[in-house]
């Protein structure tokens, strides 16, 4: 009996450990030496300041501005040695930045708001994507011509915070997410849609939609619901930092932002070349897909009638819409607190001042 008791205790511990490691928890905090708040333009000793940037996802043209700026030496010009950390399905930028694994992070605004509302000391300091790239894509054969047609269908989402635009879309069209249709977890390929296992799939304009085209489907084979058109867009890729870190590294961040804006402007002006730069840095996907993505991302960073000089601009109306939708559809239990402590244009103004 004694032995089996021990086995049972071990089994339980194993279970807990395995379950708990399903989420990656960060390592302990480390302090990063920065340039300080003295306002010194460059490091006096001539040595570069180390900065790490945590991406939301794998190295790809979604982040081309940073890759172009790095390749062209714009960070070096600002006295920065930038290290880019790739993301992944188990890497949560908010946790990485909070724990000090990275100094600056790229994440979606709604996700950042969630962490902020839970008490994590993080602050948004730039907005790269001005538009939402989220689509709901279906084959025309499924007959989903408008959001209302989603009734009774099987709809894919990546969840983990990516589901709220869909919730908003459904509610705006009078559909109940739990009863009127079936939401399923989608993997990071588009196979479920291609194999007709689901009727509509989440897709980013710059990535998954391109995968569908590469698989041989044409624009005319697909029907798309665009969150911007549906009025339920939530902001995506933004820049954020740990509040404690920025207090000590204001100047360093401004220099980082300056170089990044330069990189983004150049990338958006010539996405083809930017795609090549990203491909050279990381060949995880094909060159043609990187170039496709670069072209689509450029449309999000510098939309029509948007001055490229304003890259990184934080549109407070869009922020409010994101916050309102996040609260209304249940991501946030109480309204987001929008203040200088949670989202600030201070550094962007400094970086873009002539």
Partner 1 sequence: MKNKVKNLLWPLAFGIALILAWQFGVFHKILDLKPFQLPVPTEIASTLAANLPKALKDCGVTISGALIGMIIGSFMGFMIAAMATFFPKWGYGGMIVVTALNAVPIVALSPIMNLWFSTGMAQKIAVVTVVCMAAMAINAYSGLNNLNPYSIDLMHSVAANKWTIFRKLRLPNSLPHIFTASKINIASSIIAAIISEYFAASTSGLGFGIKDNLRKAEMAMGWSYIVVASLAGVILYCIILLVERDALKWHASQK
Our measurement of the distance from residue 282's CA atom to the centroid of its chain's CA atoms, rounded to an integer in Å, reads 19
Residue 5 — φ and ψ, nearest 5°? -65, -45
In whole angstroms, the minimum distance from the beta carbon of 119 to partner 1 comes to: 4
Report the site for partner 1 in 79-98 (rule: CB under 8 A).
Answer: 92, 94
19 versus 353: smaller Cβ distance to partner 1: 19
Q: Residue from 72, 76, 77, 120 that binds partner 1 (CB under 8 A)?
A: 120
In whole angstroms, the minimum distance from the beta carbon of 151 to partner 1 comes to: 18
Q: Where are the alpha helices (DSSP H) in the chain?
A: 2-20, 64-71, 74-77, 93-98, 109-117, 164-172, 191-194, 208-214, 243-248, 250-269, 271-281, 287-301, 316-328, 346-352
Residue 196, SS3 per DSSP: coil
Q: Does 318 bind partner 1 (CB under 8 A)?
A: no
Q: Residue from 18, 31, 46, 354 that binds partner 1 (CB under 8 A)?
A: 18
100 versus 263: smaller Cβ distance to partner 1: 100
User: What character string, x for contact with partner 1 (CB under 8 A) and - otherwise, covers 40-69?
Assistant: ------------------------------
Please state, in angstroms and rounded to a whole number, the distance separating the CA atoms of residues 104 and 226: 29
In whole angstroms, the minimum distance from the beta carbon of 309 to partner 1 comes to: 35
Burial class (CB in 10 A: 0-12, 13-18, 19+), 243: middle
Query: Positive or negative, the Cα torsion across 104, 108, 114, 117?
Result: positive
In whole angstroms, the minimum distance from the beta carbon of 115 to partner 1 comes to: 5
Please state, in angstroms and rounded to a whole number, the distance separating the CA atoms of residues 92 and 98: 10
Burial class (CB in 10 A: 0-12, 13-18, 19+), 14: exposed
Q: Does 31 bind partner 1 (CB under 8 A)?
A: no
Q: Residue from 63, 67, 75, 115 that binds partner 1 (CB under 8 A)?
A: 115
How many chain residues bind partner 1 (CB under 8 A)?
Answer: 41
Q: Does 197 bind partner 1 (CB under 8 A)?
A: yes
Site for partner 1, rule CB under 8 A = 1, 4, 7-9, 11-12, 14-16, 18-20, 22-23, 25, 28-29, 92, 94, 111, 114-115, 118-120, 156, 159-161, 183-187, 191-192, 195, 197-198, 331
């Amino acid at each position: 009996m004694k032995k089996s008791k021990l086995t049972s205790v071990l089994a339980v511990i194993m279970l807990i450990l395995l379950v708990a490691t399903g989420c990656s928890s960060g390592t302990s905090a480390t302090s990063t030496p920065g340039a300080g708040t003295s306002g010194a333009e460059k490091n006096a000793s001539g040595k570069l300041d180390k900065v790490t940037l945590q991406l939301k996802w794998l190295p790809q043209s979604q982040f081309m501005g940073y890759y172009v700026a790095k390749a062209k030496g714009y960070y070096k010009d600002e006295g920065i040695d930038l290290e880019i950390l790739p993301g992944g399905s188990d890497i949560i930028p908010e946790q990485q930045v909070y724990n000090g694994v990275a100094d600056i992070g790229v994440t979606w605004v709604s996700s950042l708001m969630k962490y902020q509302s839970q008490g994590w000391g993080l602050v948004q300091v730039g907005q790269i994507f001005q538009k939402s790239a989220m689509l709901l894509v279906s084959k025309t054969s499924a007959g989903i011509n408008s959001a209302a047609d989603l009734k009774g269908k099987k709809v894919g989402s990546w969840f983990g915070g990516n589901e709220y635009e869909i919730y908003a879309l459904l509610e705006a069209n009078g559909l109940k997410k739990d009863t009127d249709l079936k939401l399923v977890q989608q993997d990071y390929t588009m196979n479920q849609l291609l194999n007709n296992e689901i009727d509509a799939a989440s897709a980013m304009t710059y990535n998954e939609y391109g995968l569908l085209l590469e698989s041989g489907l044409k624009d005319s084979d697909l029907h798309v619901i665009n969150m911007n058109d549906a009025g339920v867009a939530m902001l995506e890729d933004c820049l954020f930092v740990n509040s404690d870190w920025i207090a000590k590294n204001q100047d360093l961040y401004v220099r980082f932002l300056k170089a990044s804006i330069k990189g983004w402007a150049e990338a958006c002006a010539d996405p083809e070349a930017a795609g090549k730069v990203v491909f050279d840095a990381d060949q995880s996907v094909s060159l043609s897909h990187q170039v496709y993505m670069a072209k689509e991302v450029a449309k999000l960073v510098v939309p029509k009638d948007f001055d490229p000089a304003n890259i990184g601009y934080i549109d407070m109306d869009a922020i409010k819409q994101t916050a309102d939708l996040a609260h209304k559809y249940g991501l946030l239990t109480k309204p987001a607190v929008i203040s200088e402590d949670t989202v600030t244009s201070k550094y962007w103004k400094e970086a873009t001042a002539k």
